[in-house]
Amino acid sequence: MIRLQNLKKDYIVKGHKTPALRGIDLSIEKGEIFGIIGHSGAGKSTLIRCINLLERPTAGSVIVDGVDLTKLDEGKLQEQRRHIGMIFQHFNLLSSATVGENVAFPLKLAKRPKAEIDKKVKEMLALVGLEQHRDKYPAQLSGGQKQRVGIARALASDPKVLLCDEATSALDPQTTNSILALLLDINRKLGLTIVLITHEMHVIRSICDRVGVIDGGHIVEMGNVLDVFLKPQHPTTQEFVEQVADSSELRAAVAHEKASGERTILRVTFLGEQTYQPILFQTMQETGTVFSILQGTISRMKDTPYGQLVIELGGDAQQNRKAVDTLRQRGLEVEVI
């Protein structure tokens, strides 16, 4: 659906060239939710704005649904942009227009018939749960409701792609979760390809299928969210995983145990139905190994339940090795820390 090839973007700051994107290669499949995570200044906002050419790349190609946008004149580019919706961190609503008028705005620009506009506005407001707010103004809405209007407006033109530029950053955690649930529902109902940027790993973990980590204008790590989250390779990725993994507490616990003598400490990862099965208890019982839990969590990554336990084994060396081997034979991911 989306292919970025050797994408580069330079800015001129005080007469000097400042690279923002340094040769991005990226493919996003039709119907997936792809997340791009990075710190401020890493290039993520520039990257997403290059996808619809709100920022024109210095070099490289942006191919959306088979069309290279960088080769289009302004008229044809505007036509292609109707297939790419976008929502923003600060909503970008027309303050003097009602909710219904905001949703209708792109359709009026496209000179659609009034009856078609009215029908589409009603349909979009029902999709985002704002049917009763059609005649209100943005100032009368909460932050979450404003973002729902932004989503309805972005979807009014029946786009194939929805770009989300820090769409939940201005919202409280509860409202963020409701907006993420709405985006996931829209993705499933409409088969819409969604690209979102964020600096919050919670957002990526909640709804994304794949993720790219951007740092210094480069994609430094990319893959399925489960793989990237559970086995982060790059230091930047590891920082983001710590947002939701309590890694600082884990390091303190491990340091404490190591300081008290020679220890065997494991990180055991459970995926899918394994998460709810007593595999660890059964293994330790069968091998006669004493263990204690230093840290543990059970959560979900989009539709997949997962768990991670950090445990200390209290058996002798032979018992501990047998316990580790048995856990691995039973399909668990086991890392000796």
What the chain holds in terms of domains, given with CATH numbers, is 2-235 (3.40.50.300), 246-336 (3.30.70.260)
Tell me: the pLDDT tens digits for 249-293? 556 655 665 655 557 899 899 999 899 999 999 999 999 999 999
pLDDT tens sequence across 307-335 = 889 899 988 888 899 999 999 999 999 98
Q: What confidence score (pLDDT) does residue 24 get?
A: 96
- Reported as a pLDDT band with limits 50, 70 and 90, residue 299 is confident
Q: How far apart are CA 49 and CA 164, in angstroms?
A: 10
Instruction: Tell me the Ramachandran region of residue 193: left when phi exceeds 0, alpha when psi lies from -120 to 50, beta otherwise.
Output: beta
Beta-strand relationship, 291-301 and 84-88: unpaired
Predicted local confidence at residue 136, as pLDDT: 97
Predicted TM-score (pTM) of the model is 0.87
Strand partners, 64: 2, 67
Q: Rounded CA gap, 262 and 301, in Å?
A: 34
The pLDDT tens digits of the residues spanning 52-99 come to: 999 999 999 999 999 999 999 999 999 999 999 999 988 999 999 999
Residue 249: the pLDDT is 54
Q: In angstroms, rounded to a whole number, what is the distance separating the alpha carbons of residues 280 and 328?
A: 11
Question: Residue 264 and residue 315: Cα distance in Å, rounded?
Answer: 9
Amino acid at 230: L
CA distance from start to end of the chain: 41
Residue 248 scores a pLDDT above 80: no
3-state secondary structure of 283: helix
Mean pLDDT across the chain, nearest whole number? 91
Please report which residue ranges of the chain form alpha helices under DSSP H. Answer: 44-51, 74-81, 99-109, 114-127, 143-155, 173-190, 201-207, 225-230, 235-245, 247-259, 279-287, 317-329
